[in-house]
Structure 1
Amino acid sequence: MNRQAPEEKEMAGLYLEEFVVGHVFQHTLRKTVTESDNMLFSVMTLNPQPLHIDFDFAARSEWGKPLVNSLFTLGLMIGISVNDITVGTTVANLGMKETVFPHPVFHGDTVRVETTVISVRESR
């Protein structure tokens, strides 16, 4: 049997000259966060914050249930964006000037991400 090598898949990421200021990426990947995601991330990063891992403690908080670790949320957001923006074309993350967490994320919430290009410049 004569098999041909599969065609090389083009990478989804963009090169510098392909970024357009003002463009908004509506990333199609989504993730519903589970209790296991939150617990494993908190344990792996040695974060003992009871708001993330102690259901009894969190039940007595203003939210009444555990909050998903915000660094997990940030990492998830970056991961979701990689396929559309940097996979195969860039060896570093794009810059972030400000990171805010305006609302908590809870077990069972689905995270969706959009990215807005606010400026384009070559690395210094």
Structure 2
Amino acid sequence: MAGRYYEGFSIGEVISHAVRRTVTEMDNTLFSTLTMNTAAIHLDYEYAKTTEFGRPLVNSVFTLGLVVGISVNDTTLGTTVGNLGWEEVKFPKPVFIGDTIRAETEIRAMRVSKSRPTQGIVTFLHRGWNQRDEIVCQCLRNALMLRQPE
């Protein structure tokens, strides 16, 4: 199992994830249409040419999922019970087709669950950068994690 149990994290720890991923046109088109987000800014190249960006923007929800997804192998694979919530989701810079995204995770808070003593809550700060070292996504995520079995 690649993920860590609750006790495997420490507040202030920063985990730099080795996996990177280049966003493709198919990623953006498929994700946008599967989630019923048919906004022209994501799918219509001719429309996008008329915007300040001059080309389609990658769906921001895809970007959020990618940044968090990159973190899974190093943090929660097989040890998470579930996500409890997202806070302060920000997209300071747009993502475009062909951008390569990398991520890091900082452990912001931890506490043992009051109602589930075999589990704990970890607050992760996920950040994603493009190949120009611009932050493209940042969010706080609270996850319910398994504690180390005795």
Q: Which residue does 1:63 correspond to in 2?
A: 53
Go from structure 1 to structure 2 and tell me whether the alpha carbon gap of 1:94 and 1:84 turns closer, same or farther (over 3 Å shift): farther
Go from structure 1 to structure 2 and tell me whether the alpha carbon gap of 1:85 and 1:119 turns closer, same or farther (over 3 Å shift): same
Q: 1:122 is aligned with what amino acid?
A: V
Q: 2:22 is aligned with what amino acid?
A: T
Report the Cα distance in structure 2 between the residues aligned to 1:22 and 1:34, rounded to whole angstroms. Answer: 33
Q: Please report the RMSD computed on the Cα atoms of aligned residues, expressed in angstroms.
A: 1.3
Report the Cα distance in structure 1 between the residues aligned to 2:84 and 2:91, rounded to whole angstroms. Answer: 19
TM, length-normalised to structure 2:
0.72
Q: Which residue does 1:12 correspond to in 2?
A: 2
SS class of match (1:115): strand
TM, length-normalised to structure 1:
0.86
Structure 2: unaligned runs, 5 residues or longer: 115-150
Deviation of 1:95 (Å)? 4.9
CA contact under 8 A between 1:86 and 1:93: conserved in structure 2?
Answer: no
Deviation digits for residues 47-81 of structure 1 (CA, Å, limit 9, x no counterpart): 11100000011111000000000000111111111
Q: Name the structure where helix makes up a greater proportion of residues.
A: 1
Runs (4+) off by over 3 Å: 93-96
Q: Name the structure where strand makes up a greater proportion of residues.
A: 2
How many equivalent residue pairs?
A: 114
Deviation of 1:30 (Å)? 1.0
Q: 2:48 is aligned with what amino acid?
A: A
Higher relative contact order (CA 8 A, sep 6+): 1
Q: Which residue does 1:82 correspond to in 2?
A: 72
What's the % identity of the aligned pairs?
A: 56
Q: 1:18 is aligned with what amino acid?
A: G
Report the Cα distance in structure 2 between the residues aligned to 1:47 and 1:96, rounded to whole angstroms. Answer: 20
Q: Which residue does 1:100 correspond to in 2?
A: 90
Q: 1:28 is aligned with what amino acid?
A: A
Go from structure 1 to structure 2 and tell me whether the alpha carbon gap of 1:89 and 1:24 turns closer, same or farther (over 3 Å shift): same
CA contact under 8 A between 1:67 and 1:106: conserved in structure 2?
Answer: yes
Q: Which residue does 1:40 correspond to in 2?
A: 30
